[in-house]
Structure formats: structure tokens, C-alpha cells
Homo-oligomer: A and B are copies of this chain.
Amino acid sequence: MSRLPATERRKQLLDTAARLFAERGYARATTAEIARAAQVTEPIIYRHFSSKKELFIALINRTGEETLRLWKQQLHKAPDPAERLRRLIGANPLVSNRGRGAYRVIVQAMTEISDPDILAALAHHIRVLHEFVAGEVVAAQEAGFVSERFSASITAWMLLHLGLGYGVLAPLDIPGHAQDESGVRVREVIEQLMLGDSTRQAENLRKHARRAAEDRGDAEDAA
């Protein structure tokens, strides 16, 4: 195939590998397959990555960074903490069309935890993700949109669990998954739980404006 500069080839290999690892998992995706899909021969892979595992880890890291970048970008234009949180919930990288396929690599990696290197890369990613989500929750709490009954840290863990659980289950294509008979979706429920209904939001918005001078407060929620 056509000659490509190293950096571009490397990127292309990662893209191709992402697709195959996501589809078939780490163990089942073969290097020969990846090479063929990238329209090169196997040794090319080994010129850019010292081993299949290294390729996989590079992919985990890239996917992790890209996910975060995408997420931040989605929030970027929303200064209002409530809207930011709403987008955070809606733009679950596991759910969005763009992220879903890519993010499956991360989920696949979670079954390869017997390898310490993969485990480390994964744990790092999760920590970064938790930190980011927790930061958003803090902002929403400080603005009075989210109750301070539960700490931002634990709330962030729950959001991550929800997102991961959804993302792990979604590819099974179970009819009626994550929604009820009347078509209500979990995302909407989570929004409701986190942010309350619209009247309450309006109220909080007023509080928020008022409080811009003062200090802190909260909202309450129960299922």
C-alpha cells in the first residue's frame, strides 16, 4: 500500500486496531487481521509498536484522553452548571454514537485485568474520569443545582457506575433495555434525580443568582 509518514501510519494503525479490538476483544483480534484491515503487512505493526499489548495500551490511553477531550468539548459552551451536568449525563461516551464503538475498547480492557500493565493504564483512566466528573458535580453543588446531601466524590462514582453499567449492557441489544413500557429512559431519570424538575430548577436558578453574592445552600432529592 501507499507509503505513509510514521506518525500518520501510527495513527491509522491505532484507528484500525480500535475498531477490531472493540468488535472482537483483545484476545480475539489478531495482529494479522489488524494489519490486513490497515492494508499493510504485520511487520509494520511491529515497527510502530513493540508488541500487541503495547499497541493495546497505547489505544487505551488514546481512547481515554479522547473521551475526556470530547466530553470537555461538549461542556465547553455551557457555562451554566446545570446544563453542563445535563450534557455530562447525556454525552456518556459509552452511549453516544461517536464514542460508543471507541469506548468498547476500554470495556474490553476491563476483562484483561490479569495483566498488570493493562490494569494500570485502565485504573489511571478511571481515576482521571472520576476526578473530572466529581469536579463538575462540585460546580453544580456550589451553584445549588445539586444537593449536597451526598459528597461530589460519591455522586461521581455513582454516575460512573451508571454509565459503565449502561455501556456494558447496551451492546447486548436487549429489547426494552434501559427504558420502561412508556418509553422513559434512564438518562432522563438520572437527570431528574440529579437536577430535579424544571420548576425546581428555575427556583434554583434564582437562588443561584441571589447567592452569587452570598454563600452556599442545597437541594434535596429522593427516589
Contact = CB atoms under 8 A, between A and B. Distances in A.
A194 B193 CA distance: 11
Copies of this chain: 2
A119 to B, nearest CB: 7
A160 B172 CA distance: 14
B181 A161 contact: no
Interface in A3-30: 23-28
A182 B153 CA distance: 10
Interface in A156-171: 157-158, 160-166, 168-169, 171
Interface stretch (A43-51, A56-64, A109-117, A207-215): A109-117
Contact of A186 (B107, B113, B158, B182): B158
Contacts of A78: none
